[in-house]
Amino acid sequence: MNDIVKRHGSLPQTLAADTTYGNGELLQWLDDRGIAAYIRVKENPNGPTDLYGIDQFTYIPEENCYLCPVGKILKYIGINARNRTHVYHSTVKRCRDCLQKSRCTRGKYRTLAIHTCEPARQRAHALAQTPAFAISQRARRKVEALFAELKNYIGLRRLRLRRMRFVREQFYLAATVQNLKRLVRFLSSKPTPKLATA
């Protein structure tokens, strides 16, 4: 990104990528720099489920806890370093006689895993529902098609020389070839002008 700032004077306003890049840390990094992330959010820390989602629980910031749909408290337990989530849970006693239990948990009590970068994930999720997201994905595919052509048809799967200036030269040459191919295709597809008849 430093290179981009040096060259263009500022960071991009948006960034489009595929779901592989939709992890919380990258989304947070982009968010911190004011870059709108047109990337689908990757993993759901709670896994795919038909049980009550996070949106059914109310966060109480003063006490750093959640209230469940029937008003019971889920207390903060700590961070799970393995999947980078804040963990909250209820207790067996609170959930035992709950009428909503079958819709809330398959265990003895409900646990919530909130990603440490959840706000950035939520923002990216909301952006993915906008028309701008679809436009950015179309633009992304056009660019990626050029890179695929470079790799698969022009042989730029690997670079022969190291160091940035040599890498740049190889890319410029390959891009020149790519543009020449396009030019030939464009010129050969032009309709032949009709001869004027008397």
CB nearer to ligand SF4: give 12 or 69: 69
CB nearer to ligand SF4: give 3 or 97: 97
- The footprint of ligand SF4 (CB under 6 A) covers 68-70, 72, 90, 94-95, 98, 100-101, 104-105, 110
Residue 119 neighbours by CB under 8 Å, 6+ apart:
31
CB nearer to ligand SF4: give 104 or 156: 104
Q: How far is the CB of 170 from ligand SF4 (least distance, A)?
A: 58
Distance CA 46, CA 29 (A): 22
Distance CA 32, CA 160 (A): 36
Q: For every residue of 154-188, which 3-state class applies, written as one string?
A: CCCCCCCCCCHHHHHHHHHHHHHHHHHHHHHHHHH
Q: What per-residue string of b and e applies to 18-35 under the rule 16 or more CB within 10 Å gives b? A: eeeebbbebbbebbeeeb
Q: How far is the CB of 63 from ligand SF4 (least distance, A)?
A: 16
Q: How far is the CB of 112 from ligand SF4 (least distance, A)?
A: 9
Burial of residue 190 (CB within 10 Å: 0-12, 13-18, 19+) is exposed
CB nearer to ligand SF4: give 75 or 84: 75
Q: How far is the CB of 72 from ligand SF4 (least distance, A)?
A: 4
CB nearer to ligand SF4: give 17 or 67: 67
Chain center to CA of 186: 35
Q: How far is the CB of 2 from ligand SF4 (least distance, A)?
A: 47
